[in-house]
Amino acid sequence: MIRILVVDDHAIVRSGLMMLLNGRQEMEVVGEAADGDEAIAQAGALRPDVVLMDLSMPHGKDGLTAAAELKKSFPDIAVLILTMHDDEGYLFRAIQSGASGYILKSAPHEELLSAIRHVAEGQAYLYPTATKRLMSDYLDKLKNGDHAGTYESLSDREKEILAKVAQGYSNKEIAEQLVISVKTVESHKSNLMEKLELRTRPDLVKFAMKKGLLTFD
């Protein structure tokens, strides 16, 4: 029996998932949570085999932060990210947080059930498009080597902004945290991307991961 904790801020989504999963002979939903804080508490109390974790939850800890904390406290519990975000940046951050799998909410039911079985058995699971992206990125690195730009070429402020951009903060949020203007953030962001020869936010996330800059406090 695979014991599952369902985490999503929408009650109707949790209800639907519970009906689907409890309808399987080999699966049992042992609890539910509406945010990351509740998920961590429930995981500690219930010790499920798999936590089915949403990413975007407006209250409490988000899914990525909760996943990272869960893996630190309960390394034997598998975390499967279930999200609407088909985004490379989120995918790489989920992997770095320690999640065992990443699947989209638009996936067929059988694919979700298969993903749960995989992570419960200690295997990794990524939806097909994600696997292709990771393989493409790996092949690009083999072909082209590491980025020509170097981390050491950045100023301290640019390094700080790189980390915050990669962690998902908006320009406005970064400006508020660092007590600078949005225009200054944009200027630093433009400069660091030029130095590193990067073009997109997912590129920044991957670079930041390589440098160990992503943290989930």
HSE at residue 111, side-chain half, CA atoms within 13 A, is 13
Asked if 144 and 122 touch (Cβ cutoff 8 Å), the reply is no
Q: Report pLDDT digits (tens) over 3-33.
A: 999 999 999 999 999 999 999 999 999 999 9
The length of the chain is 217
183 pLDDT exceeds 80? yes
Q: Which of 23-27, 152-156, 161-165, 195-199 has the highest mean pLDDT?
A: 23-27
- Tokens read off for 115: 């993903």
For residue 124, give the amino acid letter.
A
More confident residue, 86 or 75: 75
